[in-house]
Amino acid sequence: MNWLRKDTCPHILGLLDRKRNITSRKPRVSWNATSADTCARGEACCQMLEALLNLLILACSSVSYNSTGGYTGITSLGGIYYYQYGGAYSGFDGADGERAQQLDVQFYQLKLPTVTAAMAYSGALMTFSCLLLLGGALRVPWHCPLWLVMEGLMDVLIAGAYVPALYFFFQHLSAAYSSDVCKEREALYQSKGYSGFNCSVHGGDIGAGVFAAMAIGVFAVGAVLAFRGYRKVKKLKEKPTEMLEF
């Protein structure tokens, strides 16, 4: 007699079917593991945004750093710019040309400390964000969870430091634009028919401020995700059965 026939021994086949279903079932991923993976992805996105925003701040600040602007900055380009703006057709000759160059250099020196500090600050933070990205790629937060605590604390400090940095940035720029040098420079260029040399904050300065304000929010979100990631990693290490590649 065949003991595996369905009509003679149905309970044996039922046991075999249940065993097959149990062994072929895919293991479930725990909620903690999924949440930790989501935090890690969120942190990586925040770090990329932090690096990008600081790169944009660096670019906006470098506009003021790389050129004195006005008569001196334009004529330094040479070629057609020289003939249109810096030569006989510019309206600047003799004492006016020399005075325009002096005012350009003096105004550039007034703005130089502020834009230099902004470039150094944004460059350092961009490097910091890139190092955090590298650490995440090397799985440092998984092997050393305190890395996430350090990252969260640094994000909080940076987000808080952006507020006074923005205040001093625009305060020093306002002092430069309200100086006698800027006003005399503006009047001299207007007397020759040139516009665009007003003593007010320019587009590059506004762009740096806008990107810095956005960075405050991104660093704050990054801090929250770092602290949440630390909690999730600690729970996963306490329960090895819920481990997921982090």
With tokens 């995440």, the residue in question is 136
Q: In angstroms, what CA-CA distances link 203 with 64, 91, 157, 206, 207?
A: 10, 26, 28, 5, 6
197 and 72 Cβ atoms separated by less than 8 Å = no
Q: How far is CA 99 from the centre of its chain?
A: 40
Structure tokens at 160: 């808080």
Q: What integer pLDDT is reported at residue 113 of this predicted model? A: 92
Residue 216 has pLDDT above 90, yes or no: yes
Q: What integer pLDDT is reported at residue 51 of this predicted model? A: 95
Q: How far apart are CA 9 and CA 11, in angstroms?
A: 6
Q: What is the pLDDT of residues 3-59, one digit of tens each?
A: 444 444 544 445 445 445 544 444 444 444 455 556 677 788 999 999 999 999 999
Structure tokens at 96: 């006016």
Q: What is the pLDDT of residues 146-198, one digit of tens each?
A: 888 999 999 999 999 999 999 999 999 999 999 999 999 889 888 877 777 78
Query: Is the C-alpha dihedral spanning 86, 88, 90, 94 positive or negative?
Result: positive
